[in-house]
Amino acid sequence: ADYDQDWTNGVCINEGPVPNGRPVYDSMLACCKGAYSGQSSGACLQALPSPPTSSPTGADGLDVWYADYDQDWTNGVCINEGPVPNGRPVYDSMLACCKGAYSGQLSGACIQALPTPPTSSPTSLSNLPFFPVWSGWESGHCDNDPSKMTTGNAYTFDTQAECCDKFFPNQATGACMAFDPTYGTKSPTGAPIQ
């Protein structure tokens, strides 16, 4: 960053030597984002070799995301339409924008607007069958990751507990039931005894 100018008109430069204590960035864009984030004049971004324009630069929009302040915060989402409003913080991805601009948004509108938003319930992978993984009696366990199933293993069970009861009963270490399966969660246990 060129600290010889006032912050409003500041730009990033690539001239040596770098003054002591001055942060160094991998690119001019990274410098603008780091040193001049929120700069209302947009001077740093306009000094880029290919500055943002008033029309989208590609079919999928800009390479940066920012909060759409035209909506109320509860319904707010992140967009990558040009031009970026002056002073608006920008992010490298839509997810980073949602986390930065809408952290704590109870409606989840921003996260739900992602191209592949997270689901509120486990995916079908949690329903994969369990099978024994033989790694010695005391360390043997049951898992549901198909990539760990050995050739010829035709034993499958609906739950981890069924698999452990069948193949590792009375295991002194309890390794089978203590193993955290790859997909989903451990088999449910009864309520604690008081």
Give pLDDT, residue 176: 92
Cβ neighbours of residue 61 under 8 Å, at least 6 residues apart?
79, 80, 81, 82
Furthest-apart CA pair in the chain: how many Å?
A: 74
- The pTM for the full model equals 0.36
List of the chain residues with pLDDT < 70: 1-4, 52-60, 119-126, 184-194
Tell me 108's DSSP state: -
Give pLDDT, residue 184: 66
Give pLDDT, residue 185: 58
CB 85 within 8 A of CB 66: yes
Give the Cα separation of 96 and 38 in Å (integer).
16
Residue that has been written with the tokens 């590792």 in this structure:
168
Length of the chain: 194
CA nearest neighbour of 77 among 63, 56, 91, 58? 91
Average pLDDT, the chain: 82
